[in-house]
Amino acid sequence: MNNIPEQLIWMIPGLPLAAFVALFILVRSLKIRSNLNGYLAIAATAASFALSLWVAAGLFNAPAEHGITGFEWLNLGGILVIELGLTINPLTGIMLVVVTLVSLLVQIYSLGYMHGSKSLNRYFAFISLFTFAMLGLVMADNLLIMFMCWELVGLCSYLLIGFWYHRPAAAQAARKAFFITRIGDFGFLAAILLLFTSAGTLNVNDIHAAAIAGAVSSTVITWAALGIFMGAMGKSAQFPLHTWLPDAMEGPTPVSALIHAATMVASGVFLVGRMYPLFELSPTALSTVATIGAVTALFAGTIALVMHDIKKVLAYSTISQLGYMMLGLGLGDVAIALFHLFTHAFFKALLFMGAGSVNHSTGTFDMRKMGGLARLMPWTCATFVIGSLSLSGIWPLAGFFSKEEILNSALSNQPVLFAMALLTAFMTAFYMFRVVFLTFGGEYQSRLKPHESGKVMIIPMLVLAVLAVSAGWLNLTGRLTTILGHGHEQSWIYGFLGIFTHPLAWISLAVAGSGIFLAWAMYQKRWLSARKVAWTFRSAYTVFFHKYWIDELYEKYIGARLFNNGLFNLFNRFDAVVIDGTVNDVAGLNLKSSKAIRTLQNGRLTQYGLVFLFGIAAIALLVIFTG
């Protein structure tokens, strides 16, 4: 790891934490109001990014696993010893770069987007805390620390979704995100406990070693893997725990770009990748991951087709792409999933920033009120189109290369899942260009005069656009996926043009191209009326538009009926009848028996005296006659 001092590695998560402490405690109590808060957080993240890049460059040249021992944090009688330590391996290296880079760009972008907002230091403080927690999650060598950071990113997500807490929708969305991810976290925690009881350690590498050595039974491994995946499902918004992510769009758009597109939601994928040796030992868990991934990808894609809110489309697209990554993981490869995570982080953050830029000038996210923005906002339009092309998987942009890997893996393993993934790819291209044409094409709909966003917002978008184009080229020689631990034989032909020797490249390009063409025909040229198409497929359209009624199912049936009226009512009655009943009966028994006894206490002193006398006499006689 080209000899980076350990202290500097500790500084990677340490600096954002220091920024958080400084912002939250010092600045808040001193009540300094200026952009200084932002600059402080940005400086910390920038330094962190520079260090991460250094670490990652070293790993890229010489992939290896490094453990950095910290100090003993908790020692419970020698049974549970928790050490704060860090792990640096190619997997964490790539995550470090993604997290710090996107966080840095998002914070710079926020300077423009959030300009003039109230409580900016709270905003930057939470983003710094988030960055710290995310880096901690990535680098932790211990499941407990990992879980703590996992919860901490969840907390930051909650705090930032509800940043505008005075808006009821935002507060509601924040709560929803918190609750639903908690369902998944329950599984994760259970898995941690299960692993601890059977492997006797919480250190990730030791657990892997124990599992591979066969010290942990295969049933335990399967359950633990499924529990971990449940955590990942919650965090990465996989079906059926996906409902919080679209609602989370109530938060500020830069937050959506950072947390709900690039990093936190991808941490589920990272987690599965980190615990991959366990999954590899359990075919059941792997096939579950693959199936859930493919179903989620397709399912979220269909909803994204019909949403009117630009951020909702992006949110469902994110869910869909996370499904893709899960599919990649489930098919037996960490490398391809992480590669897609890597490229996706850039172009999806870019798309969110583009949506934020549009919102910044038009004041709406509703695509029906937009249109014709291409001339008014050329930079936003250009970068957004690049992001969309990348996401759709158009050669030679980043998304193409990472998507190809997953499709190829699916094709050679699971033809059914491959078909689902290909259909998703088609829908992805269609809905992204539906957004592009509705937003930037056609005529402007409203009377407000939109304007291009300021440089501070455009520059991060340009940087991301460059990455959205070029991030995939890192793997042109297969180097990136190799160091991430490519599980397959290198049958895949790499290279800028060499990729086209494989028929799959043509197929996926044709699929994406036809999706874009259809969107162009429907929303730009209007050869096909979108209304007519919707009417023709109205049953499907209704289902998609109502998001398969999942929210209604959860709220009305599971939430209100099953839990509130059913289970909770039952608990309430149990409480009233059994618990309160027992207490009341005990009290009643006491009352009755004391009613009988209290007649003895009649208040006549003389009678007491007499009883006293006879009592003493009886005792005296007893003593005398029994000796």
Looking up tokens 């600045």 gives 27
Report the alpha-carbon distance of residue 234 to residue 327 in Å, rounded: 16
Length of the chain, please? Answer: 627
Provide the 3-class DSSP secondary structure of residue 85. Answer: strand
What's 264's DSSP letter?
G
**Which CB, 283 or 609, lies closer to another protein?**
609
Report the alpha-carbon distance of residue 247 to residue 425 in Å, rounded: 24
- Say whether residue 375 binds another protein (CB under 8 A): no
Report the alpha-carbon distance of residue 407 to residue 423 in Å, rounded: 11
Phi, psi of 533 (to 5 degrees): -60, -45
- Say whether residue 213 binds another protein (CB under 8 A): no
Least distance from another protein to the Cβ atom of residue 596, Å = 12
- Say whether residue 609 binds another protein (CB under 8 A): yes
Least distance from another protein to the Cβ atom of residue 583, Å = 23
Report the alpha-carbon distance of residue 491 to residue 474 in Å, rounded: 18
- Say whether residue 7 binds another protein (CB under 8 A): no
- Say whether residue 624 binds another protein (CB under 8 A): no
Report the alpha-carbon distance of residue 134 to residue 403 in Å, rounded: 25
CA neighbours closer than 13 Å in the CB half-sphere of residue 97: 21
* Cβ-based neighbours of 18, under 8 Å, separated by 6 or more: 44
**Which CB, 3 or 601, lies closer to another protein?**
601
Candidate ranges 41-49, 164-172, 475-483, 605-613; the one touching another protein (CB under 8 A): 605-613
Residues 471-510 touching another protein, rule: CB under 8 A, are none
Least distance from another protein to the Cβ atom of residue 590, Å = 14
x/- mask, another protein, residues 574-603, rule CB under 8 A, reads ------------------------x--xxx
Least distance from another protein to the Cβ atom of residue 601, Å = 6
Least distance from another protein to the Cβ atom of residue 602, Å = 7
Least distance from another protein to the Cβ atom of residue 610, Å = 5
Checking phi first, is residue 395 left (phi over 0); if not, alpha (psi -120 to 50) or beta?
Answer: beta
- Say whether residue 604 binds another protein (CB under 8 A): yes
Angle in degrees, CA 342, 346, 351, rounded to 5: 140
Least distance from another protein to the Cβ atom of residue 618, Å = 15
What's 189's DSSP letter?
H
Residue 21 exposed, middle or buried by CB count within 10 Å (0-12, 13-18, 19+): middle
Count residues contacting another protein (CB under 8 A)?
A: 10
- Say whether residue 613 binds another protein (CB under 8 A): yes
Provide the 3-class DSSP secondary structure of residue 46. Answer: helix
Residues 307-366 touching another protein, rule: CB under 8 A, are none
Beta bridge partners of 140: 86
**Which CB, 540 or 613, lies closer to another protein?**
613
**Which CB, 3 or 602, lies closer to another protein?**
602
- Say whether residue 606 binds another protein (CB under 8 A): yes
Least distance from another protein to the Cβ atom of residue 624, Å = 15
**Which CB, 549 or 608, lies closer to another protein?**
608
Of the residues 533, 560, 610, 619, which one makes contact with another protein according to CB under 8 A: 610
Provide the 3-class DSSP secondary structure of residue 70. Answer: strand
**Which CB, 449 or 598, lies closer to another protein?**
598
Per the omega criterion (within 30 degrees of 0), is the bond before 90 cis? no
* Cβ-based neighbours of 376, under 8 Å, separated by 6 or more: 361, 444, 450, 451, 452
x/- mask, another protein, residues 32-51, rule CB under 8 A, reads --------------------
Least distance from another protein to the Cβ atom of residue 616, Å = 10
**Which CB, 25 or 619, lies closer to another protein?**
619
**Which CB, 378 or 609, lies closer to another protein?**
609
Q: How far is CA 16 from CA 12, 97, 168, 559, in A?
A: 8, 14, 30, 38
Q: How far is CA 431 from CA 87, 340, 421, 427, 441, in A?
A: 39, 19, 15, 6, 14
Of the residues 497, 591, 605, 623, which one makes contact with another protein according to CB under 8 A: 605
- Say whether residue 618 binds another protein (CB under 8 A): no
**Which CB, 510 or 613, lies closer to another protein?**
613
**Which CB, 29 or 602, lies closer to another protein?**
602
**Which CB, 570 or 617, lies closer to another protein?**
617
Report the alpha-carbon distance of residue 600 to residue 606 in Å, rounded: 13
Binding site for another protein (CB under 8 A): 598, 601-606, 609-610, 613
